[in-house]
Structure 1
Amino acid sequence: MKIFYAIQATGNGHISRAMQIYPYLQKFGTVDFFLSGNNSSLQTDLPVKYKSKGCSLYYSKCGGLDYWDIVKNIKPNQIYKDAKSLPLKNYDVIINDFDSITALACKLQKVHSVQFGHQASFVSSNTPRPEKRSLMGEFIFKNYAPAPKNIGLHFDQYDSFIHPPIIKDEIVNAVPKNLKHITVYLPSFDKDCLEKAFKSVVDVEFHWFLDTVKQIHTIGNITYFPVGQKQFNNSLINCEGIITGGGFETPAEALFLGKKVLSIPIKEHYEQECNAAALKQLGVPTLKDVGDDFGQIIENWLNTQIIYPKMQANNIPDTLQYLFDTYNH
């Protein structure tokens, strides 16, 4: 069996998930990957056969999206050309992790696909949303990467086709410890936006992962790390808690390990606002913005006893078997 797997690279989560399930996919057939977008900073040895700049995300300085940069970097003619050139009819199964080019290619070439991943869970109206819904956000969920079949991943089973998160083997097999540091991964924030707050919490050690850092170094109570899976996993496994965005994979892994989580969704990023709503239902504290009192908020968070839910890990072989069964019926 020949399998085409499209990864949206507007963040590291999609690639991380693909890296985890790739060995299991190989048991079903040969896999070629299509990488769309250029936001990921993870190194990967996946067999990426096709690439496109696609649609990528650009951030403002302190925790938001820069919509002007996003729009001006979209090249409709190139997207259409890329969609036409993908040889989808050469494949038996097309798996799409929320990529618009692959969805367009399926429509142009009249081939079947399944949308697999976190965004597929939002097909269900039962999946948590914020109090104020975004018409544009809901439109994107419905129309950005539509497929006739959907297999979602989320924190909880909000609908029959939604499965638990894919948790990396390194996390599943880990023996977590609490070495008292706080892991930080907030890719939409520049260093200048948060550094003062972290320095103000003098009794706490921070492991801060930043795209702009090239080598590990420590200044005061902050150790700065380049973004890399091995070092990040080690920091997460041994931390007291993590401060991260409103993504899906990182909070899921932290909850699986029984760690404290403080979530700061990217401003005006509707999917992350939806994830924050789901995390709030689970009792995880979330922030809408970061102000001058952020240092005090961190201290209060660390000093507050919160009972976090135990996150279930996905049974990958069962989920993939379900995917292929669903695809063929």
Structure 2
Amino acid sequence: MKIFYAIQATGNGHISRATQLYPYLLKHGSVDFFLSGNNASLSPGIPIKFKSNGCSLHYSKCGGLDYWNILKNIQPRQVYKDADSLPLKDYDVIINDFDAITSLACKMQKIPSVQFGHQASFISPNTPRPENKSFMGEMILKHYANAPKNIGLHFEKYADFIRPPIIKDQILEANPKNLKHITVYLPSFDKDCLQKAFHTLHEVHFDWFLSGVTHQHRIGNITYYPVNQKDFNQSLINCEGIITGGGFETPAEALYLGKKVLSIPIRNHYEQECNAAALQKMGVPVVYDVDKNFSDTIADWLNATLLYPKIEANNIPETLEYLFDTYNNPI
């Protein structure tokens, strides 16, 4: 079997998921990966055969999306050209993890596909949303990379086609400890936005993973790290808690390990707002605006007794069997 797997690289979670799935997919056939977008800071540990700039996210300085930069970097003509050039007819199965180019290519070439990943879970109206729904956000989630069939991933099983999160082997096999540090991963925040709040909490040590940091170094109670999988996994496994965005993979792994989570969803990022709504229902604290009292917010979070439900890990062989059966069976 020849498998085409499209990865949306607007963040590291999609790449991390594909890397975990790769050896399992190889048991079903050969796999060619298509990487679309350039926001990811992880080096893919998988062979990328096709690549496109696609659509990438750009952030404002302190926790929001920069829509002007997002829009001005979209090149519709190139998107159509890339979609037309993908040789999808050479493949037996097309797996799409939220990539618009692959979705368009399937329509142009009249090729079936399955949308597989976290965003696919929002096809269900039962998947949590914020109190104030966004019409545009809903349109993006449902139509940006739509496919005839969907297999979603989420914290809980909100519908029959939704499966548990893909958890990396390093996390599954870990012996978690509490070495009392706080792991921080907030790619939409510049250092200047949060550094003062972290330094205020002299007794708390932070492992801060930041884009643009070239080498590990410590200043006061903060150790700065380049974004890399190995160091991040170790920090997460041994932390007391993690401060992160409203993504999916990182909170899922932290909850699987039984760690405290403080979520700061990216402003005006509807999917992250939806994830935050789901996390809140599970008892995870969510901060929507980082203000001058953020250090107090962190202290209150650390001092609180929080009980979270245990996250189940995905049974990958079973999920892939379900995926291939779903793909090959008529709607």
Q: TM-score, normalised by structure 2?
A: 0.99
Which stretches of structure 1, 4 residues or more, deviate above 3 A after TM superposition? none
User: What's the Cα RMSD here?
Assistant: 0.4
SS in 1 for 2:224: strand
SS in 2 for 1:17: helix
1:95 corresponds in structure 2 to: 95
The question of 1:269 aligning with 2:257 is answered no
SS in 2 for 1:42: coil
For residues 98-156 of structure 1, the C-alpha deviation after alignment (integer angstroms, 9 at most, x for no partner) is 00000000000000000000000000000000000000000111110010000000000
* Cα offset, 1:309, TM superposition: 1.1
Measured in 2, the distance between the counterparts of 1:93 and 1:218 equals 47
SS in 2 for 1:267: coil
2:227 corresponds in structure 1 to: 227
How many residues were matched structurally? Answer: 329
Measured in 2, the distance between the counterparts of 1:248 and 1:196 equals 27
SS in 2 for 1:133: coil
* Cα offset, 1:64, TM superposition: 0.1
For structure 2, which runs of at least 5 residues remain unmatched after alignment? none
1:116 corresponds in structure 2 to: 116
Measured in 1, the distance between the counterparts of 2:155 and 2:35 equals 25
Measured in 2, the distance between the counterparts of 1:146 and 1:5 equals 15
Measured in 1, the distance between the counterparts of 2:83 and 2:197 equals 45
The question of 1:20 aligning with 2:9 is answered no
SS in 2 for 1:285: coil
* Cα offset, 1:45, TM superposition: 2.9
1:158 corresponds in structure 2 to: 158
1:53 corresponds in structure 2 to: 53
Measured in 2, the distance between the counterparts of 1:33 and 1:153 equals 20
For residues 192-234 of structure 1, the C-alpha deviation after alignment (integer angstroms, 9 at most, x for no partner) is 0000000001100000000110000000000000000000000
1:310 corresponds in structure 2 to: 310
Measured in 2, the distance between the counterparts of 1:48 and 1:192 equals 35
For structure 1, which runs of at least 5 residues remain unmatched after alignment? none
SS in 2 for 1:33: strand
For residues 26-49 of structure 1, the C-alpha deviation after alignment (integer angstroms, 9 at most, x for no partner) is 000000000000000001231110
2:189 corresponds in structure 1 to: 189
Measured in 2, the distance between the counterparts of 1:235 and 1:310 equals 20
Measured in 2, the distance between the counterparts of 1:289 and 1:256 equals 26
SS in 2 for 1:327: helix
Q: TM-score, normalised by structure 1?
A: 1.00
Identical positions, percent: 73
Measured in 2, the distance between the counterparts of 1:201 and 1:286 equals 20
1:135 corresponds in structure 2 to: 135
Measured in 1, the distance between the counterparts of 2:122 and 2:30 equals 29
For residues 34-92 of structure 1, the C-alpha deviation after alignment (integer angstroms, 9 at most, x for no partner) is 00000000012311100000000000000000000000000000000000000000000
1:244 corresponds in structure 2 to: 244
